[in-house]
Amino acid sequence: MLRKVGGIVLAVFLPLILRKSDKHQDYITEMWAWQSTQVNTYRSKPYIELMSLPEITQLSAPEKFKKYNFALCRREGENGGVEISIRHYQRFLLIISAGSGVGFEMLANGIILDEPEESLED
């Protein structure tokens, strides 16, 4: 009897859980697309201009992404250039923050190296 009830509950709620999962994946995909669009605006800027950006600049994002904070980050790249990324992060317990982003590294000669997502995670 308990197994039958469990099967019925699973049959009722599993489609709802999966639908929510699909919506969440769509949300994440849309958020990454917005971040990519933002970072792409910096690809055409000269190296010297990118070097003069502050290390961190908070960004305003569309209202639908209010769950996260976004920042433009500048730091030294692994290949000696300047790394530019747009990161999203979320604070937990007012202390810990976790997030990731999309970005690129520009060398002094203007060559752009794309950064894999996992290298941008902190």
111 to 43, 99, 104, 117: CA distances (angstroms)? 10, 27, 10, 19
Rounded Cα distance, 106 and 76, in Å: 10
Rounded Cα distance, 95 and 72, in Å: 20
Total structural domains within the chain: 1
Question: What tokens appear for 88 in the block?
Answer: 């999203």
Which structural domain range is residue 14 located in? 2-120
What pTM, to 2 d.p., does this model score? 0.70
Question: What tokens appear for 85 in the block?
Answer: 């990324």
Rounded Cα distance, 51 and 71, in Å: 16
pLDDT tens for the 122 residues of the chain, in order: 444 444 454 444 434 444 456 777 888 888 888 898 999 999 999 999 999 999 999 999 888 888 888 999 999 999 999 999 998 887 666 665 666 788 999 999 999 998 655 444 44
